[in-house]
């Protein structure tokens, strides 16, 4: 049920990677907390279904399907926010890709490296470049980029993904510094192992991998997607008014271990 007095009441928030996992949980949560949400990912039918469910619960949602690695697709999603809802107050740049196999560096090819960099790094860059001008014109905004515990060190994820998430952290910090005095807050989430399609695919046929990923998390369990979405909600809300350039660990204690 949508709460017109929720912490995101009156705000328009774009979410990438909204078709599953953390992004989908965020879409439902942000809409329930009063935001109009713009949903972006490649699977359009899945997004349409989610938008219908949000509307049925009394929320507001629009779909702009596309690939975050394509600057034009990202610009269209930003335009959807301003055309449908008249603003872009927040963005959860959450789409990510770990690659289609877990293997040591010397067994991965150029295409693997390029795609992981394109989705995670260029995708975040494309989002920031399209979102920031709209926020500057409006006098401010808030952005949360999804990084990972892999932004802080070697987690056992493939090397290109670890490098890409380090880059997402760098993009966040440098962009936060450039826009902090102009009313835009930009933060990142250091996400720990979370029960989503990404982990299910990585661990398919190799249950020991899932165990390996949670072993360093103090809580010795995976997060549910909604637990990560709650942290993004706070960072995007006005309650996080003094948080910018932050790398907020939501990882069951992984990075402190
Ligand atoms: N699950 C974990 O343990 C974990 C840990 C640390 C960080 N993360 C990060 O959390 C974020 C969300 O992942 P998740 O765990 O929720 O996995 P997920 O369920 O696989 O979700 C990934 C989302 O990203 C979208 N996506 C992938 N490539 C895209 C592209 N090129 N353009 C647009 N959208 C794209 C997917 O939708 P389409 O396929 O429809 O495009 C999907 O909605 C990612 O940045 C991931 O790196 C996850």
Q: Are strands 247-250 and 141-146 parallel, antiparallel or unpaired?
A: unpaired
In a domain, 238, yes or no: yes
In a domain, 4, yes or no: no
Residues in the chain where the model's pLDDT stays below 70: none
Strand, coil or helix: 13: strand
Q: Which residues line ligand 1 (CB under 6 A)?
A: 16-23, 41-43, 67-69, 94-97, 119, 146, 148, 191, 193-194, 196-199, 225
Six token digits for residue 73: 């697709």
Separation of 84 CA from ligand 1 center, angstroms? Answer: 25
Number of domains in the chain: 1
> Which CATH number goes with the domain that contains 249?
3.40.50.720
Separation of 68 CA from ligand 1 center, angstroms? Answer: 11
Q: Phi and psi of 140, rounded to 5°?
A: 160, 175
Question: Which one from 97, 161, 179, 213 is the annotated catalytic residue?
Answer: 161
pLDDT digits 0-9 by tens, 19-74: 999 999 999 999 999 999 999 999 999 999 999 999 999 999 999 999 999 999 99
Question: Is 161 a known active-site residue?
Answer: yes
In a domain, 192, yes or no: yes
Q: What is the position in ligand 1's atom list of the atom closest to the CA of 67?
A: 32
In a domain, 6, yes or no: no
Task: Write the residue with the smallest CA distance to atom 3 of ligand 1.
Answer: 193
Q: What's the pLDDT score for residue 64?
A: 98
Q: Are strands 36-40 and 247-250 parallel, antiparallel or unpaired?
A: unpaired
**Residue span of the structural domain in which 75 resides:** 12-256
In a domain, 1, yes or no: no
In a domain, 33, yes or no: yes
Separation of 228 CA from ligand 1 center, angstroms? Answer: 13
CA distances (Å), 246 to each of 146, 169, 187, 206, in order? 12, 9, 5, 34
In a domain, 212, yes or no: yes
Separation of 166 CA from ligand 1 center, angstroms? Answer: 16
In a domain, 68, yes or no: yes
Q: What is the position in ligand 1's atom list of the atom closest to the CA of 119?
A: 31
């Amino acid at each position: 049920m949508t709460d017109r007095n929720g912490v995101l009441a009156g705000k328009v928030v774009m979410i990438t990677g909204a078709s599953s996992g953390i992004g989908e949980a965020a879409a439902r949560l942000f809409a329930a907390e009063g935001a109009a949400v713009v949903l972006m990912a490649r699977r359009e039918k899945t997004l349409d279904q989610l938008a219908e469910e949000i509307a049925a619960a009394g929320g507001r949602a629009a779909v702009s399907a596309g690939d975050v690695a394509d600057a034009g697709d990202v610009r269209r999603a930003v335009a959807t926010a301003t055309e449908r809802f008249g603003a872009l107050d927040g963005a959860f740049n959450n789409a990510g890709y770990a690659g289609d196999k877990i293997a040591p560096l010397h067994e991965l090819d150029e295409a693997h490296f390029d795609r992981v960099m394109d989705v995670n790094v260029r995708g975040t860059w494309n989002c920031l470049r399209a979102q920031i001008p709209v926020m500057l014109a409006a006098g401010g905004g808030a952005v949360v980029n999804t990084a990972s515990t892999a932004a802080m060190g070697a987690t056992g994820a493939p090397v290109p993904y670890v490098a890409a998430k380090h880059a997402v952290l760098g993009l966040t910090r440098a962009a936060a510094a450039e826009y902090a005095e102009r009313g835009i807050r930009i933060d990142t989430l250091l996400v720990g192992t979370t029960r989503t399609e990404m982990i299910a695919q990585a661990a398919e046929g190799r249950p020991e991998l899932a165990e390996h990923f949670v072993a360093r998390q103090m809580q010795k369990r995976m997060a549910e997607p909604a637990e990560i979405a709650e942290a993004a909600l706070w960072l995007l809300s006005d309650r996080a008014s003094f948080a910018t350039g932050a790398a907020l660990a939501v990882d069951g204690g992984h990075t402190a271990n």
